[in-house]
Amino acid sequence: MNISVRAAVAGDGHILHAMVRELALNHGHAADFTAVPADYERFLADPQAINGAIIAFWRGEAAGCAIWQRSYSTYRGRETLYLEDLSVLPGFRRRGLGRELMRAVARLALFRDCAAVSWLMMSWNEEARRLYSAAGAEIEEGNCMCRLSGNALERLGS
């Protein structure tokens, strides 16, 4: 068994932080990445947290992670699981870690009685598209993510 997965626990913040940072750089979002490991420790230590993570290991070495959060579908009237990040470190790709993380997320969703797992993918990411299609996901094209933050948020909310 080369691959193992487990839920992230208190103390894993630096592992998750390194992996999400890698993802942010890879997506060209370095400037937006301001989280520090202690931010992640806060939700890992909070039994009421709306989010959590799963870490995948290759021969015992941390190699990837999935960070999820509770979500809710108003169409279904039930909770869902939202997958915020799925990251496999570059040196560990094409070994099945992404697939194992997706399986672990699906198991968690079923255990939590969620109606669905949902996540966003950039339309240019063909490698992700192959992984998610193979997992049986429906992929909806033509979404735009909208974000209001900083001065624009202050202005609108004041």
How many amino acids of this chain bind its own copies (CB under 8 A)?
72
Closest distance to its own copies from the beta carbon of 99 (Å): 9
Helix (H) / strand (E) containing 25: helix 13-26
With CB under 8 A as the contact rule, which of the stretches 4-12, 55-63, 89-97, 116-124 interacts with its own copies? 116-124
Closest distance to its own copies from the beta carbon of 54 (Å): 13
Q: Say how many CA atoms lie within 13 Å of 101 toward its Cβ.
A: 30
With contact defined as beta carbons under 8 Å apart, do 57 and 4 qualify? yes
Q: Please report, as a single letter, which amino acid is at residue 109.
A: A
- Does 145 engage in binding with its own copies (CB under 8 A)? yes
Of residues 26, 72, 127, 130, which one binds its own copies by CB under 8 A? Answer: 72
Stretch 83-112 residues interacting with its own copies (CB under 8 A): 84-85, 102-103, 106-110
CA distances from 1 to 59, 60, 95 (A): 8, 10, 12
Stretch 15-44 residues interacting with its own copies (CB under 8 A): 16, 20, 24, 29, 32-36, 39-40, 43
DSSP tag of 33 = -
Residue 7 has which token pair? 């839920």
Q: Which residues are catalytic?
A: 132
